[in-house]
Amino acid sequence: MRRDVRRPSVRFKPEFRVKENGVSASAPPDRILVIALAGIGDTLMATPLLHELRLNFPNAALEALVMWPGAAALLEGNPHLDAVHQHHFLRASRFASLRFVLGLRRRRYDVSINVHPQGRRGYRMIARLIGARRRLSHQYENEGWLDRHLVTESVPQDYTVHAAENNARFLPLLGAERRLPRPAYELYLGTEETTWAARYGERNGLEGVRWLGIHAGSGGTKNLALRRWPVERYVELVARIRKEFPDLPVVFFGGPEDRVLQAELFSRIRADRILFPETPTIRHAAALVERAHAFLSVDTAFMHLAAAMQVPRQFVIETPTVNPCILPLRENWTLIPNPGVGGRALEFYRYDGRPIQGTPAEIQRVMESVTTESVLEALRPALS
């Protein structure tokens, strides 16, 4: 689905740094690589930039590099891309990764863009090995002398605005302008996924009724699994929902990394109309999420999926990694406050390549501070 667009003028020019390396910024690029290695949700957050680049450079070869198979799946069918390259740098051998990168290097990109947030220096090293003439990134807090050799131009990251806005600030460096009236996640599903979701709903009594989708996972890199809301709280929440809304279906979503968690939830929540769908791909999951009336999660890829699918009522439990950069890119949604975070999210987590700060016990106590009652209180108006 394409949206009508207009051509607003650039509203401001951010401060940026151009390295003295003889790179000319005057000619429009013929071949652009957008690098989005950090995560599946981060790839969705980069889709507004892909659209802006295509509008500004309609004749350029526009390609994307991602690490996670799910991220590549979400870019399937994107009309603004000419190619998607996927390689799991964390799991592949160094030799395999080097061979893959050298293959991209032979494509001779004019510009590569490391989208926000990608604070790990390793991502900038990958951009350097790919060797585009101009290599754009953000200035992160772990930047050092080496980074001045890895990228050619950079803009300051801004924790007060969304990642989509941080990415849009690259456009003036390329002589481009903002042309979308409002940035939004873009996910292009096919007939296969939407048909599968409709049939699943028909078989399981989800058609024509309100139902609640839940993703209880939280990602598996670094120590991000610690930001999960405790399993015991989900068990208690479902029990209370069943008592107040006995006919309300509840659907638990999960990706490949959530299999153990899903199995535990399944073993502890055995009741009618509590479903654990085995979605063939993340695209099928997105198609099913779209049919939910309400969706609950922490800040994960499924949070961004629910925003992309414009679920009518979306709820996010605050974690130590929540900040304005990664909030759902939509107008109407609800943040369930976490007393343990208390507005100190940047003290726990920044985009500097480090994990959530604190011991596992400390981080778990932070998540335990969100009570079942506070979550149910937020959900109740949407479920009644």
CATH number at residue 88: 3.40.50.2000
φ, ψ at 66 (rounded to 5°): -130, 165
**How far is the C-alpha of 289 from the C-alpha of 213, rounded, in Å?**
7
**How far is the C-alpha of 321 from the C-alpha of 334, rounded, in Å?**
16
Q: Do residue 261 and residue 378 come from a single domain?
A: yes
Cα(first)–Cα(last) distance of the chain, in Å?
Answer: 33
What is the rounded average pLDDT of the residues 120-133?
A: 95
Q: Do residue 251 and residue 139 come from a single domain?
A: no
Q: Do residue 219 and residue 90 come from a single domain?
A: no
Domain ranges, residue 272? 191-383
What is the rounded average pLDDT of the residues 221-242?
A: 94
Give residue 12's pLDDT.
28
**In a domain? residue 8:** no
**In a domain? residue 313:** yes
What is the rounded average pLDDT of the residues 119-125?
A: 93
Measure CA 154 to chain center.
Answer: 22
Q: What is the DSSP letter of 319?
A: -
What is the rounded average pLDDT of the residues 117-142?
A: 94
Angle among Cα 17, 86, 47 to the nearest 5 degrees reads 55
Q: Do residue 168 and residue 210 come from a single domain?
A: no
Give residue 9's pLDDT.
28
**In a domain? residue 45:** yes
Q: Extract the tokens encoding 143.
A: 């930047």
**In a domain? residue 105:** yes
Query: Is the pLDDT score of 336 beyond 60?
Result: yes
Q: What is the DSSP letter of 224?
A: G
Q: Do residue 329 and residue 219 come from a single domain?
A: yes
- pTM of this structure: 0.89
Q: Report whether 239 contacts 378 (CB < 8 A).
A: no
For residue 188, give the nearest of 294, 87, 309, 50 by alpha carbon.
309
Q: What is the DSSP letter of 72?
A: H
Give residue 26's pLDDT.
60
Q: Which helix (H) or strand (E) holds 62?
A: strand 61-66
Q: Extract the tokens encoding 95.
A: 């030799």
Q: Do residue 254 and residue 325 come from a single domain?
A: yes
Q: Do residue 229 and residue 92 come from a single domain?
A: no
The total of structural domains in the chain comes to 2
Q: Do residue 313 and residue 199 come from a single domain?
A: yes
Give residue 18's pLDDT.
41
**In a domain? residue 219:** yes
What is the rounded average pLDDT of the residues 7-23?
A: 34
Q: Do residue 271 and residue 359 come from a single domain?
A: yes
What is the rounded average pLDDT of the residues 322-329?
A: 96
Q: Report whether 112 contacts 135 (CB < 8 A).
A: yes
| Domain final residue pick, 118, 141, 174 | 174
Is the bond preceding 337 in cis, omega lying within 30 degrees of 0? no
- At residue 178, the 3 state secondary structure works out as coil
**In a domain? residue 5:** no
For residue 341, give the nearest of 326, 374, 359, 363 by alpha carbon.
363
